[in-house]
Amino acid sequence: MLARTTASGGLLDAARLTRGFEAGHTTSPSGAILASIDAARALLDRDGYALSEHLLDLVRQAQSRLSDVPGVRVLKDDPGGLRVDPSKLVLNLAGTGAHGHLVERLLLERGLPVEMADRDVLIPIISFADRHEQVTALVDTLIEGIEKYRSEPRPITAGAAWGIKPIQILDPRTAFFSPHLAIPAEDAVGRVSAELIAPYPPECRCSRPVS
């Protein structure tokens, strides 16, 4: 209320106030999640090492079994430079011929959501809270789905990727508080952005199951 009164009274630039709010707020507020932050931090501060080792043990358990499934490639760090988060179970199904969305559909039917799925790559969710028997059930369902939809193996192909190295003209604070002009995106090439630009949603993929 004070900020609104100050802005409406001319003591504060209303546009600057709006941009400040937009830069700091979230598009997905959740009281339950916000309230849990301190509890989660305290838990990790107290038991973080033990919980992390438990999670890594669960992932290794799943990796060991799935490595024995013909055609499944379990992604791990390798001498060639591949780096994989050790807390993630990342599977490439190309060698099995099974479509990742079909395997995902079976997992969802069993109440086992995945972090990501496309035709070739599947990333099931394993967390601190899981137990060994739950991971066993997850792996059993994964193997069931792979065998159910197994077909002619596909070659492993690299996904499209791109990257840029931005050139910083101004520090973000200076740009934020500088006079600015709203222009069409096609006219913005070569200009300095006065506010944050963030792709949203952070992960875009087609999750429609194939037939």
Q: Residues 14-49: pLDDT tens digits?
A: 777 777 777 767 666 777 777 788 888 899 999 999
Residue 105 in any domain: the answer is yes
Q: How many domains does the chain have?
A: 1
30-to-90, 94, 203 alpha-carbon distances in Å: 29, 38, 19
Q: What is the pLDDT of residue 211?
A: 43
Q: What is the pLDDT of residue 176?
A: 84
The whole model's pTM is what? 0.64
Q: What is the pLDDT of residue 9?
A: 64
Residue 46 DSSP code: H
Q: Which helix (H) or strand (E) holds 138?
A: helix 132-148
63-to-74, 88, 114, 127, 172 alpha-carbon distances in Å: 6, 10, 16, 15, 43
Residue 11 in any domain: the answer is no
Q: What is the pLDDT of residue 27?
A: 67
Residue 167 in any domain: the answer is no
The residue type of 145 is G
Q: What is the pLDDT of residue 21?
A: 76
Count the Cβ atoms, other than its own, within 10 Å of residue 52.
14
Q: What is the CATH number of the domain that holds 115?
A: 3.90.1150.10
Q: What is the pLDDT of residue 16?
A: 76
- CA dist 89 and 126 (Å) reads 7
Residue 16 in any domain: the answer is no
- Which string of b and e fits 131-140 if b means at least 16 CB within 10 Å? eeeebeebbe
- CA dist 59 and 91 (Å) reads 12
Residue 129 in any domain: the answer is yes
Residue 94 in any domain: the answer is yes
Q: What is the pLDDT of residue 177?
A: 84
Residues in the chain where the model's pLDDT stays below 50: 1-5, 203-211
Residue 123 in any domain: the answer is yes
11-to-4, 22, 76, 184 alpha-carbon distances in Å: 10, 20, 57, 30
Q: Are 193 and 187 in contact (CB under 8 A)?
A: no
Task: Note down the domain range covering 135.
Answer: 32-148
Residue 188 in any domain: the answer is no
